[in-house]
Structure 1
Amino acid sequence: MSTTPADIEAMFTDAKGAFRFARWGRPIAPIVFGVDDATLNIFKGAVEALSALTQHPLAETDFELGVNLMFFMFKSWDELSDLPDLDRLVPELDQLVPKLKSQGASQYRLFRFDDQGAIQACFVFICMDGPLADWPAESLALVQASQAFLLWGDQAFAERSPLARLPNGADILRPDVGDILRAAYAPELPHVAHDASFSLRLFARVSGAQAG
């Protein structure tokens, strides 16, 4: 099924009905907390795969923040409150943790933006004491990385995962999601857009990829 302009618009519309598109405006410097070396390499591999897809560069360090894409994996939301200095990076942590616990959330992404509105940093919180505990590390890493590369709308993947399952049981990025990610990082497009008509510009590039 081909992607339509309405599909793309919906994927970047927030809970209040506003269109919000943003991509990274600087190289991504990732780090993963709370995992063993094998899982760390899997997450880094997923970020590298998204970097290759979008042609957006990675970096060892960020000139301002040191690292700017942080994955935190833990078994209880309460563990976040015990992480040293995290409250300095995420001042709203004290209010955020009780809210996420009451909602029974298994994941949360918090974005920071630069003066132009482009993504400056992303904090990805993954609670493994729930449905995500049974996910293969490769699938979990890919789904989290794909959702950190753009400011997707609140309901973009509420009913359908960004991943697709192959007959052999392996998960890959859905082709339509991959096409949108690739199109979103076209050099001629801006880092930020708040007008829904921007979805037509994305659609033009997505439809060209799908036709090819």
Structure 2
Amino acid sequence: MTPKEVEALFTRSDGTYLFSRWGRPIAPVVFGVEDATLQVVKGACEAVVALAGHKMAETDPELGSNLMVFFLRDWQELLDTPNMDQLVPELGPLVGRLKDSGANQYRFFRFDEDGAIKAAFVFIRMDAQLAQMAAEDLALGQMVQTILLWSDVAFDAQSPLAKTPAGPLVLRPEIAAVIRAGYDPVMPAVAQDTSHALRLFARLGDLA
């Protein structure tokens, strides 16, 4: 990857640079799937967290679970779920936008006072496109996109996953290297200056 390509991963559609990683162990919970799929999602989370060199926990002392993954058949289910409006700001308008755009996934984050990620909420509407994906591939893609605060357009042109000659999807090596570099203990948990991308790039050579 070039420095500009690294920078683009964290440059938002409004032109601002923003990097953030988890500042606490990740305690996931999954809703709307059978036990077998639940284990797949948690396994993907464990794999990505291990790649990052971060930690998982059974519970978060403040929130209980700080990574919530919801599988849905229709966005309307968000409005029909009790107390969901307390988790998701401006739920009604959001659901309207998701319906109008035909979106099949949505993620949002909460941050601590320093700007590090303290919670993430992942909503996956299982449309025909996602239903064709293997559960392992879908789970891996979602966990990769949740381990860091990527740009809102980071993966519009290219998925973080790539096919292997044997068929299964795997995490692209350069994206894996960026994740590891982002969690390097000497790197800040939060950055808003593009010089941070240069520091990430400097660490990629031995990680990709």
TM-score in terms of structure 2 length: 0.98
Which stretch shifts more, 200-209 or 116-125? 200-209
Structure 2 unaligned blocks of 5 or more: none
Structure 2 equivalent of residue 199 of structure 1:
197
Helix, strand or coil at the partner of 1:195: coil
Identical aligned residues as a percent: 56
Structure 1 equivalent of residue 140 of structure 2:
142
Structure 2 equivalent of residue 101 of structure 1:
99
Aligned counterparts of 2:89 and 2:170: Cα–Cα separation in 1: 35
Structure 2 equivalent of residue 4 of structure 1:
2
Structure 2 equivalent of residue 84 of structure 1:
82
- Listed as ranges, the matches of 1:38-53 within 5 Å are 38-53=36-51
- Is it true that 1:183 corresponds to 2:171 in the alignment? no
Per-residue CA deviation, residues 6-35 of structure 1 (Å, 9 max, x unaligned), is 001000011100000000000000011000
**Contact conserved, 2:3 with 2:197, CA < 8 A, in 1?**
yes
Aligned counterparts of 1:205 and 1:23: Cα–Cα separation in 2: 16
Aligned counterparts of 2:119 and 2:32: Cα–Cα separation in 1: 19
- Is it true that 1:35 corresponds to 2:41 in the alignment? no
Amino acid corresponding to residue 194 of structure 2 in structure 1? A
Candidates 159, 162, 184, aligned match of 1:161: 159
Helix, strand or coil at the partner of 1:206: coil
Aligned counterparts of 2:18 and 2:134: Cα–Cα separation in 1: 31
Per-residue deviation, 1:167: 1.3
Aligned counterparts of 2:90 and 2:6: Cα–Cα separation in 1: 31
Aligned counterparts of 1:187 and 1:130: Cα–Cα separation in 2: 41
Per-residue deviation, 1:87: 1.2
Aligned counterparts of 1:167 and 1:202: Cα–Cα separation in 2: 29
Which stretch shifts more, 193-202 or 77-86? 77-86
Structure 2 equivalent of residue 23 of structure 1:
21
**Contact conserved, 1:111 with 1:121, CA < 8 A, in 2?**
yes
User: Structure 1 residues 209, 129: closer, same or farther in 2, change over 3 A?
Assistant: closer
Aligned counterparts of 1:209 and 1:91: Cα–Cα separation in 2: 38
Aligned counterparts of 1:140 and 1:190: Cα–Cα separation in 2: 29
**Contact conserved, 1:106 with 1:130, CA < 8 A, in 2?**
no
Per-residue deviation, 1:94: 1.4
Structure 1 equivalent of residue 115 of structure 2:
117
Query: Aligned pairs, how many?
Result: 208
Aligned counterparts of 2:186 and 2:76: Cα–Cα separation in 1: 43
- Is it true that 1:173 corresponds to 2:160 in the alignment? no
RMSD between aligned alpha carbons? 0.8
**Contact conserved, 2:180 with 2:207, CA < 8 A, in 1?**
no
Per-residue CA deviation, residues 48-107 of structure 1 (Å, 9 max, x unaligned), is 001110110000111111001111101100011111221111132112100111011011
Helix, strand or coil at the partner of 1:71: strand
